[in-house]
Chains A and B, each alone.
Chain A
Amino acid sequence: MKWRYFKQQLFFFISRLSALIIAVTIGGFLIYIFVNGIGAINWEFLTQAPRDSMTKGGIMPAILGTFYLMVGALITALPLGIASAIYLSEYAKEGPVIRIIRIGVNCLAGVPSIVFGLFGLGLFVVFLHFGSCILSGALTLGFLILPTIIGASEEALKAVPQTFREASLGLGVSKWHTILHVVLPNALPGILTGSILGIGRAAGETAPIMFTAAAFFTAKLPTSIFDEVMALPYHVYVLATAGTHIEETRQIQYGTVLVLVGLVLSIDLIAIVIRSYIRKRKRW
């Protein structure tokens, strides 16, 4: 009897330890980044372009570039994602078609980001002659986050109670108007959460934009969607690996990392907060 109890205690201890290791690792990591990066952050750092072959100055063009890419990715993925989710949740009947679409979405979600980069290079940059620019990068990132948005939107649509649809259909409203005026408004917060998580992912990805959008350094800010841009993740990579000033620019690197982590984590936190708010305030 004692042995049974001891085994249980030991197992609980190891499980608790695993969770603790994960929590401490991420906590320590974030604190480390914050402590080392905060010194670099000031108004000049956030609002000026890099100077003296990127050993001085700020990261404003990279922040702006990441912003453009995020918005572009969202414009690409949101309509496609929501419409796909509406089909999967509202129209499709269980069967081979829906099964194939689901496998397709799952497989797309599993495609490595560097393969998306190759695909973007092959299709947008080379085949469609867009060149390396915001448009190519945003489309590539948009396709990358599409499965995230489909998944979250479908879940949000499925969470709307069946009785809502039945009530609307019972009043003689057509299926399309029921979706548009009853189902979608109720699913909107959930869809929003998924989209925000999607943007967070798009902001942090490096590999897909390496050959499709990101520039090592551009002095001028982009004026059209056919311009190359600097982007935060790529800037971190470039500063940390290329050139002869790696040690000299550590401060700038930590500062850029902190801005990127801060951006991505606050986006994710917003999504998490919205979601827990919805869960608590559900009216049905």
Chain B
Amino acid sequence: MSRRLKEIIIKNVFLLVALVSIIILALIIAFLFSEGLPIFNVVSVKDFLFGTEWYPTYDPPEFGIGALIFGSFVVTIFASVLAVPLGVLSAIYIAEIAPPLIKEIFKPVVELLAGLPSVVLGFFGMAVLAPWMQETFDLPTGLNIVNASLLLALMAVPTISSISEDALYSVSQEFKEASYALGATRFETITRVIVPAALSGISTAVILGMARAIGETMVVLMVAGGAAAIPESIFDSVRPMPASIAAEMGEAPFRSDHYHALFATGIVLFFLTLGFNLIADYVSHKFKEVGSATL
């Protein structure tokens, strides 16, 4: 075999393997649809998405995941309110303000936080935070929106912090020098030059952090309380989509309507996070600073 031919074959073998990620993604979609779509013979798409009655085991059953979608959004938004300032400010501190030694220590700490298994955080929420919260605020249950949001924020912080930090680092040195040369203080340089220049990266970080929070399962399964209803206060229980899937799949009879409904919930969750990721990808490419001329 000629050397040239061999090289072409090798190249195409690698191309095939590189396509595996796409193939897996396609398979995920295929299996979610094939197991999830049959539910729409029983309930209309509109009633499924916007119905707020989720009684899959009643007779007759109700399959409306409106309250589950709402639950997912509520905990994600509350978690972001906490995680975005913490993550972005800590990234600014590490990238622009901190002395090198603190930088060296803090970066691995954030990575360790990112590596903590979610079931461990969920366990902490159940065993420690929930009883404390119940007693301190005199609540019927400590397993509620606030508890789940606190822990989700903790899961989103490393994503937001480390991606924002990368974005801040990649702001070119010329910008900072130009700003200092004009007499700006470090604060003014950070808020008016560095952060605006890194904004696309920071936005990507925030979107990906939110995507992580909305898709996170174990924390919301263990700590959100599991009530499939629209909450009235931040101390009410909710049942976000991942929690519902994880809690009920074990008991749903194989290929029953309930089983299909849980897969259909998976479809909604999948496309929601896919949307977040595509937006993040778009933002990071569209608004990428190519050189100093683009600012």
B-binding residues in A (CB < 8 A): 4-5, 7-8, 11-12, 14-16, 18-19, 21-23, 25-27, 29, 32-33, 80, 83-84, 86-88, 90-92, 97, 100-101, 103-119, 121-123, 126-127, 143, 146-147, 150, 174-176, 197, 200-201, 203-207, 210-211, 233-234, 236-237, 240-241, 250, 253-254, 257, 260-261, 264-265, 267-269, 272
Nearest CB in chain B: distance from A4 CB, A:
6
B118 interface residue (CB < 8 Å to A): yes
Q: Are B118 and A112 closer than 8 Å at their CB atoms?
A: no
Q: Are A115 and B117 closer than 8 Å at their CB atoms?
A: no
Instruction: Write 17 A-B pairs (CB below 8 A) sorted by A numbering.
Output: A5-B185, A15-B92, A87-B15, A91-B14, A104-B25, A107-B274, A114-B245, A118-B245, A122-B32, A175-B7, A175-B10, A176-B10, A237-B123, A254-B127, A257-B120, A264-B117, A265-B115
Nearest CB in chain A: distance from B190 CB, A:
8
Select the stretch in B105-113, B228-236, B286-294 that faces chain A.
B105-113
B176 interface residue (CB < 8 Å to A): no
Q: Are B18 and A25 closer than 8 Å at their CB atoms?
A: no
Please give me the residue from chain A that is nearest to B86 by CB atom. Answer: A18
A86 vs B11: C-alpha distance when bound (angstroms): 10
Q: Are A8 and B122 closer than 8 Å at their CB atoms?
A: no
Q: Are B222 and A241 closer than 8 Å at their CB atoms?
A: yes
Inter-chain contacts of B263 with A (CB < 8 A): 118, 122
Q: Quick one: which of A121, A204, A210 contacts B118, CB cutoff 8 A?
A: A204
**A18-B89, A118-B31 given; 14 more Cβ-contact pairs under 8 Å:** A5-B185, A18-B93, A19-B102, A22-B109, A22-B161, A27-B109, A86-B14, A87-B11, A110-B208, A113-B215, A114-B246, A115-B28, A197-B115, A203-B117
Q: Are B89 and A14 closer than 8 Å at their CB atoms?
A: yes
**Contacts A206-B118, A211-B250, A253-B123 known; A15 to B281 CB distance under 8 Å?**
no
B136 interface residue (CB < 8 Å to A): no
B37 interface residue (CB < 8 Å to A): no
Question: Which residues from 183 to 230 on chain B have a C-beta closer than 8 Å to any C-beta of chain A?
Answer: 185-188, 190-191, 208, 211, 214-218, 221-222
Q: Mark B70-96, 1 if CB is under 8 A from A, else 0.
A: 000000000000000110011011100
A-binding residues in B (CB < 8 A): 3, 6-7, 10-11, 13-15, 17-22, 24-25, 27-28, 31-32, 34-35, 85-86, 89-90, 92-94, 97-98, 102, 106, 108-113, 115-120, 122-124, 126-128, 154, 157, 161, 185-188, 190-191, 208, 211, 214-218, 221-222, 242, 245-246, 249-250, 254, 262-263, 266, 269-270, 273-274, 276-278, 280-281
Inter-chain contacts of B102 with A (CB < 8 A): 19
Q: Quick one: which of A90, A101, A272 contacts B21, CB cutoff 8 A?
A: A101
A220 vs B127: C-alpha distance when bound (angstroms): 30
**Contacts A18-B86, A261-B116, A264-B117 known; A147 to B31 CB distance under 8 Å?**
no
A27 vs B106: C-alpha distance when bound (angstroms): 11
A104 vs B274: C-alpha distance when bound (angstroms): 10
Nearest CB in chain A: distance from B245 CB, A:
5
Q: Are B185 and A200 closer than 8 Å at their CB atoms?
A: no
Please give me the residue from chain A that is nearest to B243 by CB atom. Answer: A114
Inter-chain contacts of A236 with B (CB < 8 A): 119-120, 123
Q: Are A261 and B7 closer than 8 Å at their CB atoms?
A: no
Please give me the residue from chain B that is nearest to A144 by CB atom. Answer: B24
Please give me the residue from chain A that is nearest to B150 by CB atom. Answer: A25
Interface centre among B20, B21, B188, B215 (most CB of A within 10 A): B21
**Contacts A107-B274, A122-B263 known; A101 to B25 CB distance under 8 Å?**
no
Please give me the residue from chain A that is nearest to B94 by CB atom. Answer: A19
Q: Are B92 and A268 closer than 8 Å at their CB atoms?
A: no
A260 vs B242: C-alpha distance when bound (angstroms): 22
A175 vs B5: C-alpha distance when bound (angstroms): 12
Q: Are B19 and A207 closer than 8 Å at their CB atoms?
A: no
Q: Are B115 and A200 closer than 8 Å at their CB atoms?
A: yes
Q: Quick one: which of B21, B191, B214 contacts A105, CB cutoff 8 A?
A: B21
Q: Are A122 and B34 closer than 8 Å at their CB atoms?
A: yes
A267 vs B112: C-alpha distance when bound (angstroms): 10
Please give me the residue from chain A that is nearest to B184 by CB atom. Answer: A4
Q: Are A110 and B274 closer than 8 Å at their CB atoms?
A: yes
Q: Are B31 and A174 closer than 8 Å at their CB atoms?
A: no
A106 vs B273: C-alpha distance when bound (angstroms): 11
Q: Quick one: which of A101, A109, A122, A237 contacts B119, CB cutoff 8 A?
A: A237
Inter-chain contacts of A234 with B (CB < 8 A): 119
Nearest CB in chain A: distance from B227 CB, A:
16
**Contacts A101-B18, A175-B7, A211-B249 known; A22 to B90 CB distance under 8 Å?**
yes
Q: Are A122 and B21 closer than 8 Å at their CB atoms?
A: no
A185 vs B281: C-alpha distance when bound (angstroms): 32
Q: Quick one: which of A197, A210, A264 contacts B116, CB cutoff 8 A?
A: A264
Q: Are A101 and B123 closer than 8 Å at their CB atoms?
A: no
Inter-chain contacts of A5 with B (CB < 8 A): 185
